Amino acid sequence: MRIYTRTGDDGTTSLFGGQRISKDDLRIEAYGTLDELNVCLGALGSHAVVAESSDLSFLRSVQSDVFSWGSHLATTDPKMIQHLPEVPGGRVAEMEAWMDEKNEALEPLTQFLLPGGHLAIADAHACRVVCRRAERRVISLANSTDVPEGLVAYLNRLSDVFFVWSRVLHKALDVPEIPWESTP
């Protein structure tokens, strides 16, 4: 089977169900940014400090969710929606519980932090900012059409997960957090 089809050479792409739309459509921007987020999740999970931790299964669940959300955004045909994977309805609560548990072991946050100190930490922040961009793209799409219920809240909470994860990584790697200090 060939990977290339040449059907997108005119600047359009197919949604699940066959409808063709421009590659710069808000819908493509939204699920394309979810795809970027999934790549960032893969990078985060590739670091030994994550890959060898008990949190890897949580990360893989999130990756699966993000892929599923993307499939929902790539589908406008009501007949095709029934064939899509479901995203667990309780995942936002799971994310909140994960953050609450992790926060208990961290020093209280007293100032803004700069990303960095280790590549794994930077990758957690990359996940956070790409997730925020995905959230903005989904909100833009929602201003003109229906988007899957719960997606905006999911992305909003998920970006918080990655901030907490960055702090967890600072502690696990014994790398000091970098406080932000305004320059005169």
Q: Where are the domains of the chain?
A: 12-77+107-177
**Where are the strands (E) in the chain, listed by range?**
12-14, 20-22, 113-114, 178-179
CB pairs under 8 A, 24+ apart, for 57-61? Answer: 58/98, 61/91
CB 15 within 8 A of CB 27: yes
pLDDT higher than 80, residue 91: yes
Chain-centroid distance of CA 166 in Å reads 14
Structural domain 12-77+107-177, CATH architecture? Up-down Bundle (1.20)
Q: What is the pLDDT of residues 115-166, one digit of tens each?
A: 999 999 999 999 999 999 999 999 999 999 999 999 999 999 999 999 999 9
pLDDT higher than 80, residue 18: no
Q: What is the pTM of this model?
A: 0.92
Share of the chain above pLDDT 70, in %: 97
- pLDDT for 9: 76
Amino acid of residue 183: T
pLDDT higher than 90, residue 1: no
13-17, 20-24, 45-49 — which one is most confidently predicted on average? 45-49
Q: How far apart are the first and last CA of the chain?
A: 60
Any residues with CB less than 8 A from the CB of 87 and at least 6 apart, and which?
A: 65, 68, 69, 72, 148, 150, 154
Radius of gyration of the chain (CA): 18
Q: Once rounded to an integer, what is the mean pLDDT over residues 60-77?
A: 93
Q: Pick from 179, 184, 183, 133: which is nearest to 158 by CA?
A: 133
pLDDT higher than 70, residue 12: no
